[in-house]
Amino acid sequence: MTFVVSCALLSSRLFSTFIIRKKFLCIHTVKSLMDKRDEAKSAMELINIPPIVSIYRHALHTFDDRYKNDLLINLDKLKSMMDFLKSEDLGYDDNLKNEAFWRQPDKAPCTYIEVFQNNQINMSIFVLKPGFKMPLHDHPHMHGLLKVISGAVKIRSFSEYPLKESVDPIEFQSVARKEAARLATGHHKRRKLFAEVTCEKVCSENSSTCTLTPTVSNYHELEALDVPAAFFDILSPPYDTLIEGIGPRRCRYYYVSNEISTNVVELQETEVPKCFYCDQAPYLGPILG
pLDDT on residue 31: 52
CATH superfamily of 51-280: Jelly Rolls (2.60.120.10)
Question: What angle separates helix 51-62 from helix 71-83, to the nearest 10 degrees?
Answer: 160
pLDDT on residue 10: 45
120 burial (CB, 10 Å; 0-12 / 13-18 / 19+) is middle
In the DSSP assignment, the letter for residue 87 is G
Task: Give this prediction's pTM.
Answer: 0.76
pLDDT band at residue 8 under the 50/70/90 scheme: very low
Strands 278-280 and 242-243: unpaired
pLDDT band at residue 48 under the 50/70/90 scheme: confident
Mean pLDDT of 179-188: 53
Q: pLDDT tens digits, residue range 196-241?
A: 999 999 999 999 999 999 999 999 999 999 999 999 999 999 999 9
pLDDT on residue 80: 98
Calculate the alpha carbon distances from 40 to 29, 30, 70 in Å. 16, 15, 31
d(CA 123, CA 114): 7
d(CA 78, CA 211): 11
Mean pLDDT across the chain: 84
pLDDT band at residue 46 under the 50/70/90 scheme: low
d(CA 179, CA 182): 5
Calculate the alpha carbon distances from 154 to 17, 37, 144 in Å. 78, 49, 17
> Within 10 A of 254 (CB to CB), how many other CB atoms are there?
23
Contacts of 33 (CB under 8 A, 6+ apart): none
pLDDT on residue 14: 46
Pick from 16-25, 122-131, 147-156, 269-278: least confident? 16-25
Question: Dmax of the chain from CA atoms?
Answer: 126
d(CA 202, CA 208): 11
pLDDT band at residue 182 under the 50/70/90 scheme: low
Nearest CA-CA partner of 51 in 95, 87, 96:
87
